[in-house]
Structure 1
Amino acid sequence: MASSASFSSTNDPITIQNSQDRQHPLLTINLSNITKLSSTNYHTWSLQIQSLLEGYDLHNFIDGAYTPPPPPSPSPSLVLHPQI
């Protein structure tokens, strides 16, 4: 039983940048070999994305193993503009 499937991929890398400094990318992930998600290939796409996240050691951010830091406490000197 042979089946043929046509999968397209994207050649655009995803860049995650530090919000403090937009000049230097923090991380660049190349998704050129990742199958484009469609209604029929979720399992393949999911395995590829999981492998990519594990390869870059980012999977702990997705599965909740790393908890976010607490929000900063409001500063008494911080005054919000009333028109915003």
Structure 2
Amino acid sequence: MNLGDSLTSQALAAGQRVTPTAAPPGTIRLAVVLTDGSIQHFERPATGDSKNWRATDFETAGGGCAFDEPVTAEWGHALDLFTHATTR
């Protein structure tokens, strides 16, 4: 499993809430709030599909980390499901 898939797996397993967040035009961005209050972000082009997701910023109360890791289509499909559920 690559790093992007590992971040996605952990975020979806430990996430309490998934919400769309502000993003540049043409970009879909999701924030997954984890049980400790940290937030893992994911994004893809609005015209993309499940194979275009990337794991991006990770925010914590004490700081954070910037990621730009690809997510495979299998894990991206799960993020797409949240995208469709939260943007209706």
Of structures 1 and 2, the one with the larger relative CO (CA 8 A, separation 6+) is 2
TM-score, scaled to structure 1 = 0.27
TM-score, scaled to structure 2 = 0.26
Higher strand proportion: 2
